[in-house]
């Protein structure tokens, strides 16, 4: 059986048009459990990561609105808070699903810190969208009220952007591996992990959000996963997305992916980081990356759908 890292997007936990209540998030997570549970029942070792873009953005809003009453949280603490909240909701949903299916298995969340370089150029160029979508008028009001940066995100509105440095080390790697050796289903690197810098062995949180796909790629490489699944809202990656000449891709090599990125086929606010993360995993020795939607998880593993990103076409490995 295989060791599989599954990267679930934060926008799958709060769906478009929803307010993001805990009840909504619990229902969305519960619905997402079934395809993953199928893999666990088949004997695969599954490690779950997840995004937190909408959630950490909302936490920042709450913190800002309440700062006259209670001290505002720095961004790294907001990362930690949402990682704990979402980890709790996900592990509870999986445990309840396992009870329904008479599966006796432990699920645990590891609050994960990711070391980043203090010299990472991302700190000078914020690019990571977080929080809700704003109209142009709402965005302009927010910018006038506070020194924040916004970008237009995939035609859906404007979102605040923050620094997104690349992760270079997983602080809790040994703890994660120890749990996997005990056959525990692990939820880790939530929201990309908490960004920290390291100097002489001492850690310090920094104001940033790590892209969960990059964190997942590093994690998958470090624990020598057989598969990295990057789960998104579409069944397959496509070029000319949303146009009459849209072409879905069943397989794409690193060379092809880089060429399409140069052509602007994979926007930075959506598919771009997923493709870059897939390349990172392959360059670190990984063999199988599959990008697909969570409801097509099993079909994609069997090679029936999804997009496989491979180093070279002849190196494609199938189940």
Catalytic residues: 10-11, 128, 212, 274
3-state class (DSSP) for residue 318: coil
Task: Give residues with Cβ within 8 angstroms of 180, minimum separation 6.
Answer: 3, 45, 47, 186, 223
Which two three-digit tokens encode residue 150? Answer: 């916004």
What's the chain's Rg over C-alpha atoms? 19
3-state class (DSSP) for residue 109: strand
- Which one-letter DSSP state was computed for residue 10? G
Q: What is the four-CA torsion angle of 277, 230, 132, 156, rounded to 10 degrees?
A: 90
Longest dimension (CA), the chain: 61
- Determine how many CB atoms are found less than 10 A away from the CB of residue 96: 13
Q: Where are the alpha helices (DSSP H) in 101-149?
A: 136-145
């Amino acid at each position: 059986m295989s060791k599989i890292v599954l990267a679930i997007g934060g926008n799958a936990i709060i769906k478009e048009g929803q307010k993001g209540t805990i009840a909504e998030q619990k229902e969305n997570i519960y619905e997402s459990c079934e395809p993953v549970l199928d893999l666990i029942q088949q004997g695969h070792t599954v490690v779950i990561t997840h995004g937190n873009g909408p959630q950490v953005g909302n936490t920042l809003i709450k913190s800002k609105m309440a700062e006259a009453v209670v001290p505002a949280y720095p961004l790294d603490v907001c990362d930690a808070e949402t990682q704990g909240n979402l980890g709790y909701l996900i592990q509870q949903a999986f445990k309840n699903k396992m009870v329904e299916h008479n599966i006796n298995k432990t699920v645990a969340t590891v609050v994960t810190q990711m070391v980043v370089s203090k010299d990472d150029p991302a700190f000078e160029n914020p690019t990571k969208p977080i929080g809700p979508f704003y109209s142009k008028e709402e965005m302009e009001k927010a910018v006038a009220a506070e020194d924040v940066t916004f970008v237009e995100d995939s035609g859906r509105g404007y979102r605040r952007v923050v620094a997104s440095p690349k992760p270079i080390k997983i602080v809790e790697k040994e703890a994660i591996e120890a749990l996997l050796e005990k056959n525990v289903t692990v939820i880790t690197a939530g929201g990309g992990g908490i960004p920290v810098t390291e100097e002489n062995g001492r850690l310090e949180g920094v104001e940033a959000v790590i892209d969960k796909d990059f964190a997942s790629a590093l994690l998958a490489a470090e624990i020598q996963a057989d598969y990295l699944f990057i789960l998104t809202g579409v069944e397959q990656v496509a070029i000319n997305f949303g146009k009459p000449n849209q072409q879905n891709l069943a397989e794409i090599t690193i060379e092809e992916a880089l060429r399409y990125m140069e052509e602007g086929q994979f926007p930075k606010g959506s598919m771009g980081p997923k493709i870059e993360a897939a390349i990172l995993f392959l360059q670190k020795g990984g063999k199988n990356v599959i990008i697909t939607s969570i409801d097509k998880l099993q079909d994609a593993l069997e090679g029936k759908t999804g997009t496989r990103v491979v180093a070279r076409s002849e190196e494609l490995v199938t189940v």
